[in-house]
Amino acid sequence: MSNKNGVTVWFTGLSGAGKTTICMAVEEKLREQGYKVEVLDGDVVREKLTKGLGFSKPDRDENIRRIGFVAHLLTRNGVIVLVSAISPYQQVRDEVRQQIGSFIEVYVSTPLSVCEQRDVKGLYKKARAGEIKQFTGIDDPYEPPTNPELECRTDLETVKDSTAKVLAKLSDLGYFFESTISFAEESVLTSI
């Protein structure tokens, strides 16, 4: 199934909140249904597209603007774009929302204490020890969305629950229609 209209689904939240996990689960479900999907993961983008940028506020804002620009190009060409990026500042998130237009903000709202417990990369531990400066949630602010289209509480709901909420929102807004015909039924129908 090809997408008629593109949309950007922007997952924002602290490091370790579960943005990428939900994003990948949503991607899998959309691809299973034949949708054109691209994922822009903040860590991958920093390696490839914004390598020279640091973590000052101007550099973080520029990083988000570049992700937003790529998301805009894909969205206007009928792609469902899933962005997983901390994107800590409200003003620049609002800026990319305006630029993209078809934009769904998903706040992956997870308490800092839970994110620190997860800390698979050991980043919070390093930030607390002073080895990493300007770390979001520790010595650099995170500004929660004031009016997100959706909130996922990964400390209270499963990945499956969060994924279902995102797909339901895409469905409610007319971007996603899950096929009720299984692949086995499809092959029988085409052989008749």
State the catalytic residue, choosing from 87, 102, 109, 162.
87
Angle at the Cα of 28 from the Cα atoms of 123 and 70, rounded to 5 degrees: 65
Helix or strand or coil: residue 46? helix
Helix or strand or coil: residue 86? coil
Helix (H) or strand (E) holding 81: strand 80-84
Q: How far is CA 125 from CA 128, 130, 133, in A?
A: 5, 9, 12
| Residue 154 to residue 84: CA distance in whole angstroms | 15
**Residue 87 annotated to the active site:** yes
Residues recognised as catalytic: 87
